[in-house]
Amino acid sequence: MKTYLILFSLLLSSITAFSQSQAVMDFHNKYKDSGKYLSVRIDGGLLNLLSGIETNDEEAREMLDAMGKIDAINVHSIDRDEDDFQESDIDRFKRDVKKEKYDELMIVRDGDANVDFLIKEKKGKISDLLLVVDETDEFVIVSISGEIDMKTIAKITDNLDIKGSEHMDKLEDKQN
């Protein structure tokens, strides 16, 4: 029984891993061993666990319920002064994402930051969100998969203090 449970867990984790964009996975695989590369994964299981917290605060309850619908949040960041970093990889990443049929939701130019919000929809609902932050000193990808409510995602990423999340407020403002 224990063996079946372990195999089932591995199968579920591999399904969750493959729900992430191939372009994001390729970028991660290229830079994962670089010294100035950061990768953070928050699994849906943890977010689902958090969604079970009891609260009387309506706004907190809304955020916790939305967390339960997220499969994963992945953050990838690399300093541009990393020895292995190549500018052409950003162009390749952006081309590959377009091939995956992500739709451009919004573009924000804020000082030296270029921020792209890209989504993938399934049956009229947002299933994947990519936040691509291209700054002069750093390149950041935030990938969120699951059932996505944009207003709540902005709150979640802000509360989790995820790199690049400060740009999510612009998306929330645009929706209002």
pLDDT one-digit tens code per residue, 128-174: 989 999 999 999 999 988 888 766 666 666 665 555 556 656 555 55
In a domain, 89, yes or no: yes
User: In terms of pLDDT, which residue wins out, 43 or 152?
Assistant: 43
Q: Which two tokens stand for residue 128?
A: 């994947």
In a domain, 25, yes or no: yes
Give the position of tokens 């939701």: 105
In a domain, 10, yes or no: no
Helix (H, G, I), strand (E, B) or coil at 23: helix
In a domain, 102, yes or no: yes
Q: How many domains does the chain have?
A: 1
Q: For every residue of 91-112, which 3-state class applies, written as one string?
A: HHHHHHHHHCCCEEEEEEEECC
In a domain, 9, yes or no: no
In a domain, 128, yes or no: yes
Bridge-partner residues for 79, per DSSP?
Answer: 138
In a domain, 123, yes or no: yes
Structure pTM? Answer: 0.73
What is the rounded CA–CA span in Å between residue 49 and residue 28? Answer: 27
